[in-house]
Structure 1
Amino acid sequence: MTTELMQTPALSVLIVDDEPGMRSFLKKALSKRFALVEVAGSVEDAERLRSRCHFDLLIVDIRLPGRDGIEWNEALDPGSRRSDIIFMTGYADMETAIRALRAGAMDFIMKPFHLEQMMQSVERCLERRLLRRENLLLKREVEQIHVGQNTLIGVSDGMAQVKEVINRVAPTNSVVLIEGESGTGKELVARLLHQKSGRSGAFVPVNCGAIAPELLESELFGHVAGAFTGARSAREGLFTFASGGTIFLDEIGEMPLQMQTALLRVLEQRAIRPVGSEQESPVDVRVVAATNRELLEEVDAGRFRRDLFYRLNVLNVHIPALRERRDDIVELVHHFTRQLSAELGLKEVSWSHEDMQLMTNHDWPGNIRELRNLVERCLLLGKPPAEYWRQQQTPAPTTQGTGESGYPDDMPLKEVERMHVMQVVESQQGNKSAAARILGVSRKTLDRKFKEWGL
């Protein structure tokens, strides 16, 4: 199985077979691939499990006591058939195979089979499911851009100030610097600035930390043919694509010093020079930058140009961390629950008072991204947050300020962050990619934290 599939913990499977040995065999084999593996010996047991949990994949024997697997699948409400299904049988004929395919089977496996055969079938199903999820995310992103579904959730004082600043500065063409921790919603604020600006061009997001330093200048400004090895033809840069619109430079603090000099020249002259060219081309682009670093500290450390900082910091929008706007958490949870239930095709749930209290009191080092990921994970696994936290063997957050458990009240925030990150990594047996998903940050951000801590 591919590395990508091995690193997708929020997937679930239900195995339905009347043979205890087959159920045990498949459960053991699939436990390494899935976060949730359930087994059932009959259609009745399977239906009870299915009514309680969402399963991404069903592996079903055709011959079952009472009613066969194909009949069970055909009897399901078409609107609730959101799981992929693999049928197994030891008594196959052409008619049965056709019935299985017509019932929506992703694969049809004859017993006895080799484990590798089953795992290859599972891999194909998961690849298709993950691809559908990626397409769903892309579709949602396109809808957000063109239909204007972006909205800031929250009525806290901090968010009221953010909304006021957005409404005030959006119609201008001035550079805007958005500051906030990772996962606070900096790109959402940038999109809102663009939507409210009245500019007719595109919104072009660029993650400055995700592009190799030697390619960043070419990506932003383009290049002429023969500018460097492999540049067989001329190529326009992202600034050109954003003409008449907005370019969003995320993680601006990651930009190399040499590139900072080139960006400063663009901001001052309102013109770009493609790599390998001696001519400058004027551009009409509004620049919005964002950072999760303290840029003044980066300036003092010599990692960020002072003149560029002041050029970017014309208008400043500071997004508060989620722990600083706890009054908004309940509204955010309800929003994500409704949104994700509709997108994933799952029944909307109501969280208990205990779940809401725990989520409200949690410090959320990954901010809104971590909160959204938790809601999605709990919906997919069919587990409320309190139960999920207990099963992760990670101490559930306690009432803020009690000092009776959790971290000491006098512990510095950076140390709390380090201890929490290490705890989550340890709970994932050292799997940094899985830990990054739980924390709601990128793997690259997690690696950078480890480097800062000398680990």
Structure 2
Amino acid sequence: MKTSFPTGMSVLIVDDEPGMRSFLNKALSKKFALVDTASTITQAEQMRSQGHYDLLIVDIRLPDRSGIEWHEALDDPDRQSDIIFMTGYADMDVAIKALRAGASDFIMKPFHLEQMMTAVDRCIERRLLKRENFMLKRELSHGKASSIIGRSDAMVEVKQVIERVAPTNAVVLIEGESGTGKELVARQLHHLSGRSGPFVPVNCGAIAPELLGSELFGHTAGSFTGAKSSREGLFSFASGGTIFLDEIGEMPMNMQTALLRVLEQRAIRPVGSEKEVAIDVRIVAATNRTLQEEVEAGHFRRDLFYRLNVLNILIPPLRARSEDIVELTHYFTMQIIKEMGMKEVIWSHEDLQVLQQHEWPGNIRELRNMIERCILLGKPPAEYWKVDTKESVPETSGYPLDWPLKEVEKQHVMQVVAAHDGNKSAAARDLGVSRKTLDRKFKEWADVTAPEQEE
């Protein structure tokens, strides 16, 4: 039984026999997106330093030095590549030495193609398992919900659109305010797509612009200061699956150009490499901005916008579907008490009514944080609001109705930062903005309130 792999895999064949290089090149081209060949260790190391290879197939006896002496590959602490050694000399001591040196497998020449393919399959299965483990740890650290809550007409329509577009490989753009659940929609698209690879979320606004290319596409050793070894990017980890580019509107212009090329060529080029690697990755993007306005303002490439906006899903804000708040409240309450090992919490009709009347500028994220605070402090939601029964207008104890919107925003941000004990990065994630945006806000407020210096 043959194993099928995502197309983002690469292999380098190192053998001084032209016939063997040609034979393996033809056989492995059916499984790998990139197959390169070299006749010496020197040539192979030069190629390896310019691009990533998942697998190295190396003859032990080569003109310049033995394959077992290829220390740059064997002693790589990150184990970027699996290695299969070949030899035409039946020497058990050499085989043992090769395996001790770090080889994944050892094959005697001449060999049957099926024997080589079995060894290749084992190596690639290990490589895929390593990628899956990496993404599993990343997924667990996020602790995301697995289903979309809401029975309002607006959410029923969103779910129907998801079901229609999920089975396709088309690019999807998700739009909505911060905290409305754009990542949850992206996860549902992936779940229903039937794609075998992982779901890889990337917050484009949370990664330093100078590092974004390396994070997405990977890099070669020495491509920039601190790049001591080659590394795969998140597009490679998403091979066969879905990559979710959140806050796409925060992406720098030079990276927009690089992403446009990926969409057109279906290939990535690691930073510092001259070679492109084919990918099989579905791209889902999201933004809390209106990208059409960003295009008109010259902040976003028009051609990239058209490539991303093939299928569009607009998620309504929570204030536009207040009928879903009761269901969301029960869901988050059960989720939180289970995570914390606490006793059952039952909210009163007054609590639920007050929650439904609130505007929720932070949307679902704000609702969940509010419920968590109420549970931790043992204080029901009704105690956070005072309702004017004459006009049925909710008023936060901290936000008087005569406050301007900018002051409400400032106080809300301050409360979220305080809830995270001053950790602005964590607060930025909850607020659905980049750390850079949060720092800019604080600077604006400091400039406004700073007293004038005396002469």
Task: Give the TM bin, normalised by the shorter chain.
Answer: 0.5 to 0.7
Residue of structure 2 in register with 1:75 after alignment: none
Residue of structure 2 in register with 1:223 after alignment: 219
Shift of 1:405: 6.4
Shift of 1:231: 1.5
Shift of 1:423: 3.4
Relative to 1, partners in 2 of residues 1:404 and 1:201: Cα closer, same or farther, differing over 3 Å?
Answer: closer
Residue of structure 2 in register with 1:259 after alignment: 255
Q: Secondary structure at the match of 2:360?
A: coil
Shift of 1:386: 2.0
Verify: 1:164 aligned to 2:146, yes or no: no
Residue of structure 1 in register with 2:9 after alignment: none
Shift of 1:416: 6.1
Q: Distance in 2 between matches of 1:423 and 1:318?
A: 28
Shift of 1:358: 1.1
The one of 239, 243, 246 aligned to 1:247: 243
The one of 409, 417, 441 aligned to 2:431: 441
Q: Distance in 1 between matches of 2:394 and 2:206?
A: 41
Q: Could you tell me whether the CA contact under 8 Å between 2:269 and 2:277 is conserved in 1?
A: yes
Which residue identity is paired with 1:313?
N
Relative to 1, partners in 2 of residues 1:419 and 1:399: Cα closer, same or farther, differing over 3 Å?
Answer: farther
Shift of 1:296: 1.2
Q: Secondary structure at the match of 1:293?
A: coil
Relative to 1, partners in 2 of residues 1:336 and 1:404: Cα closer, same or farther, differing over 3 Å?
Answer: closer
TM-score by length of 1: 0.61
Q: Secondary structure at the match of 2:221?
A: coil
Q: Distance in 1 between matches of 2:242 and 2:284?
A: 7
Verify: 1:322 aligned to 2:318, yes or no: yes
Q: Distance in 2 between matches of 1:144 and 1:343?
A: 14
Q: Distance in 1 between matches of 2:441 and 2:319?
A: 20
Relative to 1, partners in 2 of residues 1:158 and 1:231: Cα closer, same or farther, differing over 3 Å?
Answer: same
Residue of structure 2 in register with 1:198 after alignment: 194
Q: Structure 2: 5+ residue runs without aligned partners?
A: 1-135, 449-455
Verify: 1:287 aligned to 2:277, yes or no: no
Q: Distance in 1 between matches of 2:321 and 2:181?
A: 13
Q: Distance in 1 between matches of 2:429 and 2:237?
A: 33
Aligned CA RMSD, in angstroms, stands at 3.4
Relative to 1, partners in 2 of residues 1:428 and 1:375: Cα closer, same or farther, differing over 3 Å?
Answer: closer
Q: Distance in 2 between matches of 1:368 and 1:439?
A: 13
Verify: 1:418 aligned to 2:406, yes or no: yes
Relative to 1, partners in 2 of residues 1:174 and 1:417: Cα closer, same or farther, differing over 3 Å?
Answer: farther
Residue of structure 1 in register with 2:65 after alignment: none
Verify: 1:183 aligned to 2:179, yes or no: yes
Q: Secondary structure at the match of 1:310?
A: helix
Any idea what the Cα deviations from partners look like across 1:74-121, whole Å, max 9, x if unmatched? xxxxxxxxxxxxxxxxxxxxxxxxxxxxxxxxxxxxxxxxxxxxxxxx
Q: Residues 51-130 of structure 1: matches in 2 within 5 Å?
A: none
Q: Distance in 2 between matches of 1:417 and 1:439?
A: 21
Q: Distance in 1 between matches of 2:176 and 2:417?
A: 30
Q: Could you tell me whether the CA contact under 8 Å between 2:417 and 2:423 is conserved in 1?
A: no
Q: Distance in 2 between matches of 1:310 and 1:449?
A: 31
- Residue-pair matches, total: 306
Structure with the greater alpha carbon radius of gyration: 2
Q: Could you tell me whether the CA contact under 8 Å between 1:250 and 1:289 is conserved in 2?
A: yes
Q: Distance in 1 between matches of 2:142 and 2:439?
A: 30
Q: Residues 35-54 of structure 1: matches in 2 within 5 Å?
A: none
Relative to 1, partners in 2 of residues 1:291 and 1:232: Cα closer, same or farther, differing over 3 Å?
Answer: same
Q: Secondary structure at the match of 1:364?
A: coil
Which residue identity is paired with 1:194?
H
Q: Quick one: percent identity of the two aligned structures? A: 66
Shift of 1:144: 9.5
